[in-house]
Amino acid sequence: MIPKVAVLPVLIAPDPRLKVKAKPVARVDAELRRLMDDMLETMYLAPGIGLAAPQIGRAERVIVVDVSREGEEKQAYRMANPEILWQSDSLATYNEGCLSLPEHYADVTRPAEIRVRYLDHENEIRTLEASGLLATVIQHEMDHLEGVLFVDHISPLKRNIILRKLQKSKRQKAAEPV
Ligand SMILES: [Zn+2]
């Protein structure tokens, strides 16, 4: 029997579960593979180009990324225990967003190229050289594993404005009659 993939609720900042350091996984087994597929499905539906396990309330070092454009062939990366082996001195700036900070964006500067080692969905060790948007998204998702959000890379003033707005819209949602 093929299990159906599930769409998972994504935590919205500010939330203490987005600020914890995620734990390494022992190995990628069937349960974790299923989690990776559910995370991908959740990401595609949102739609988004990356998702980290802490964003769905699982404090484990698992991320999924797919930066292919609409109409292009999908290129999904499922990564457990990702580690940056090398990063370039050259930097790149992208206007970043996050499924946990909906409708907010800010320019974030990061190393332009990286080499990352990870366990794939079949528990195989892989190494990937990434540049451009893919490099940025992998670094953004890996930040989530340290409890770091993209707003932690911008000025405290801008960060607080965004987090206050998110908090306010959460309160409004909570107050709405069901
Ligand atoms: Zn994010």
Tell me, in angstroms, the distance from the centre of ligand 1 to residue 172's CA. Answer: 23
What's the confidence (pLDDT) of residue 156?
A: 97
The per-residue pLDDT for range 74-125, each reduced to its tens digit, is 999 999 999 999 999 999 999 999 999 999 999 999 999 999 999 999 999 9
Is-catalytic flag, 141?
Answer: yes
Residue/partner pairs of 167-174 with CB below 8 Å, 24 or more apart: 167/14, 170/12
Name the residue with higher pLDDT: 6 or 141: 141
Stretch (H or E) spanning 82: strand 77-87
Q: What is the mean pLDDT of residues 43-69?
A: 97
Tell me, in angstroms, the distance from the centre of ligand 1 to residue 1's CA. Answer: 33
Tell me, in angstroms, the distance from the centre of ligand 1 to residue 70's CA. Answer: 20
Choose the catalytic residue: 73, 96, 141, 176: 141
Mean pLDDT of all residues in the chain? 95
What's the confidence (pLDDT) of residue 178?
A: 64
**Edge-to-edge strands, sheet with 125-131:** 50-52, 62-65, 77-87, 113-119, 125-131
Residue 83 three-state SS: strand
Separation between Cα atoms, residue 158 and residue 106, nearest integer Å? 9
What's the confidence (pLDDT) of residue 34?
A: 96
